[in-house]
């Protein structure tokens, strides 16, 4: 068979019903973030059936803690010793064959209490497959496994195929970052994660925003203790209001000059500050002695976590200098837990072209959306593994509290298997 004949044969013989059963089985086995990843045993069976070399390992903080994208967990959270990453490698038969890495994350949100049903019992309704992790991101795992199995059942590959079922929702460094630091890289990578934008496989994620959670702590003063006539107290909340205004002005100035340079969003701002929580801290009587503003900043390629925080610190120093108290008691900026460096896979990269060609070949779509995403895992193979990486995935919904459980579009899920199977053949088989 020619390469195109093989591809047609593989696509015609993909077992969609078996793939749906696989996804339902993955959902049925709990794997809430930080807890034991029991469905990895099912993934392991697939790896072994495909004759892959298998590596099961925990995230190693010691290996990655000095990297900019290391994300420490909040003090009250931890990752169970039974939470594992799983990587399967199928060696290619040719020294000149191109290697491909497909990956997604196996862990999910914790089940919602009193959600009115069992979120681990997947069901289909109105063309959607519902179940905890259906979208985020067990559909990606199932697509990856079903596509690889369909191809490897019919042929040997010239290039190496790497499949990674990793941890991702909390302690992101424990998943993809650990795997890449462990030495897993390729000529091209694809992160398979459902797309809640509604675009489905029309969308290719090629730009991961830089992201940093931080807090700004404003100091006040209680004045002279036990002196009811003393008026030297400084209200930290009032000073905090000045800081919030300065933060908004800083953000507005950035958005007026920092823009996407290419792709679907060319010319629109590539930076955004969200102020999520502002609250008083320590009090003396009714006088707040501290005020905290929690923020999340998205920023683009060309900046770093440290450079944006330095820029903010300098801006606050200048903007608040007119207030005598704040000039002498400058607010303190502290990093919090989420940290992500920006990364981009240029549309000229071969993996981008291959993903686009596979999507167009299967779906017939005429227009591709070059999507950006906040802190996408596509950044980690790019930054730490020299692996150009893009993200694709089926339509989905139900995330972020929109519904009691997430869902994936069933037709798009099955289409994704064909797209990934075609991509494996085109990338890993020589002409």
What pLDDT does 232 receive?
A: 72
Same domain, 358 and 327: no
Same domain, 169 and 44: yes
What pLDDT does 170 receive?
A: 67
Q: Is residue 251 helix, strand or coil?
A: helix
Same domain, 71 and 187: yes
Tokens of 363: 């779906």
State how far the alpha carbon of 116 is from the alpha carbons of 29, 111, 113, 119, 128, in Å. 19, 11, 8, 9, 18
CATH code where residue 28 lies: 3.40.630.10
What pLDDT does 222 receive?
A: 75
**Gap between the Cα atoms of 162 and 177, Å rounded:** 15
User: Domain containing 23: what range?
Assistant: 3-208+343-428
**Gap between the Cα atoms of 178 and 163, Å rounded:** 15
Same domain, 173 and 55: yes
Backbone angles phi, psi at 91, to 5 degrees: -65, 145
Q: Which of 340, 360, 383 is the last residue of a domain?
A: 340
* Region of residue 116 (left: phi > 0; alpha: psi -120 to 50; beta: else): left
Q: What is the DSSP letter of 395?
A: B
* Region of residue 274 (left: phi > 0; alpha: psi -120 to 50; beta: else): beta
Q: Which of 310, 325, 340 is the last residue of a domain?
A: 340
Strands 123-125 and 332-340: unpaired
**Gap between the Cα atoms of 81 and 34, Å rounded:** 9
Number of domains comprising the chain: 2
**Within the chain, what is the greatest distance between any pair of CA atoms?**
94
Smallest Cα–Cα separation from 161: which of 421, 431, 363? 421
Tokens of 78: 């931890």
What pLDDT does 59 receive?
A: 84
Record the pTM.
Answer: 0.93
Q: Which of 340, 355, 390 is the last residue of a domain?
A: 340
Q: How many residues does the chain have?
A: 431
What pLDDT does 174 receive?
A: 87
Tokens of 280: 């008083």
**Gap between the Cα atoms of 290 and 237, Å rounded:** 7
What pLDDT does 228 receive?
A: 59
**Which pLDDT tens digits describe the chain residue by residue (431 residues)?**
899 999 999 999 999 999 999 999 999 999 998 889 999 999 999 999 999 999 999 987 888 888 999 988 777 778 888 899 999 999 999 999 999 999 999 999 888 766 667 899 999 999 999 999 999 999 999 999 999 999 999 999 999 999 999 998 766 678 999 999 999 999 999 999 998 888 999 999 999 999 999 999 999 887 656 555 556 788 898 999 999 999 999 999 999 999 998 888 999 999 999 998 888 766 555 567 889 999 999 999 999 999 999 999 999 999 999 999 999 999 999 999 899 999 999 999 999 999 999 999 999 988 899 989 889 999 999 999 999 999 999 999 988 766 779 999 999 999 999 999 999 999 999 98
Spatial neighbors of 302 by CB under 8 A, at least 6 apart, are: 342
Same domain, 137 and 51: yes
**Gap between the Cα atoms of 196 and 200, Å rounded:** 8
Same domain, 266 and 130: no
Cis peptide before 137 (omega within 30 of 0): yes
Same domain, 94 and 190: yes
Spatial neighbors of 81 by CB under 8 A, at least 6 apart, are: 58
Same domain, 314 and 374: no
Cα torsion 195, 140, 343, 334: sign: positive
Q: Is residue 234 helix, strand or coil?
A: strand
CATH code where residue 276 lies: 3.30.70.360
What pLDDT does 411 receive?
A: 97
Backbone angles phi, psi at 304, to 5 degrees: -130, 170
**Gap between the Cα atoms of 189 and 101, Å rounded:** 5
Spatial neighbors of 424 by CB under 8 A, at least 6 apart, are: 100, 102, 147, 148, 151, 157, 161
Same domain, 47 and 170: yes
Same domain, 225 and 76: no
Same domain, 301 and 171: no
Report the Cα 299 to chain-centroid distance in Å. 15
Same domain, 173 and 240: no
């Amino acid at each position: 068979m020619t390469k195109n004949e093989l591809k047609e044969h593989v696509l015609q013989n993909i077992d969609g019903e078996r793939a749906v059963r696989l996804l339902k089985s993955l959902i049925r086995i709990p794997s809430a973030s930080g807890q034991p990843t029991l469905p990895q045993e099912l993934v392991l069976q697939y790896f072994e059936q495909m004759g892959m070399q298998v590596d099961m390992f925990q995230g190693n903080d010691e290996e990655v803690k000095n990297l900019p994208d290391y994300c420490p967990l909040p003090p009250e959270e931890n990752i169970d010793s039974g939470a594992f990453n799983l990587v399967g490698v199928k060696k290619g038969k040719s020294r000149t064959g191109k290697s491909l890495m497909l990956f997604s994350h196996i862990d999910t949100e914790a089940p919602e209490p009193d959600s009115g049903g069992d979120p681990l019992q997947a069901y289909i309704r109105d063309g959607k497959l519902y179940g905890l992790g259906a979208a985020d991101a067990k559909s990606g795992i199932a697509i990856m496994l079903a596509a690889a199995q369909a191809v490897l059942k019919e042929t040997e590959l010239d290039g190496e195929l790497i499949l990674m079922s990793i941890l991702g929702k909390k302690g992101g460094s424990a998943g993809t970052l650990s795997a890449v630091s462990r030495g897993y890289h390729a000529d091209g990578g694809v992160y398979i994660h459902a797309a809640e934008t509604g675009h489905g496989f029309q969308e290719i994620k090629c730009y991961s925003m830089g992201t940093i959670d931080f807090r700004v702590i404003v100091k006040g003063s209680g004045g002279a203790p036990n002196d009811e006539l003393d008026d030297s107290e400084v209200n930290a909340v009032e000073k905090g209001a000045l800081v919030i205004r300065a933060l908004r002005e800083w953000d507005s100035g950035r958005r007026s000059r920092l823009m996407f340079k290419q792709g679907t969003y060319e010319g629109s701002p590539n930076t955004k500050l969200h102020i999520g929580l502002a609250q008083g801290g320590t009090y003396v009587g009714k006088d707040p002695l501290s005020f905290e503003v929690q923020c999340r900043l998205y920023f683009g390629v060309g900046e770093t976590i440290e450079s944006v925080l330095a820029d903010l610190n300098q801006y606050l120093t200048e903007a608040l200098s007119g207030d005598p108290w704040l000039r002498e008691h400058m607010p303190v900026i502290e990093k919090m837990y989420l940290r992500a460096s920006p990364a981009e896979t240029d549309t000229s990269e071969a993996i981008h072209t291959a993903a686009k060609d596979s999507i167009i070949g299967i779906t017939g779509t005429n227009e591709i959306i070059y999507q950006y995403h906040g802190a996408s895992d596509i950044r980690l193979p790019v930054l730490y593994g020299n692996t150009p990486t893009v993200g694709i995935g089926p339509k989905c919904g139900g995330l972020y509290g929109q519904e009691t459980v997430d869902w994936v579009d069933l037709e798009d899920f099955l289409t994704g298997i064909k797209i990934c199977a075609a991509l494996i053949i085109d990338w890993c088989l020589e002409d």
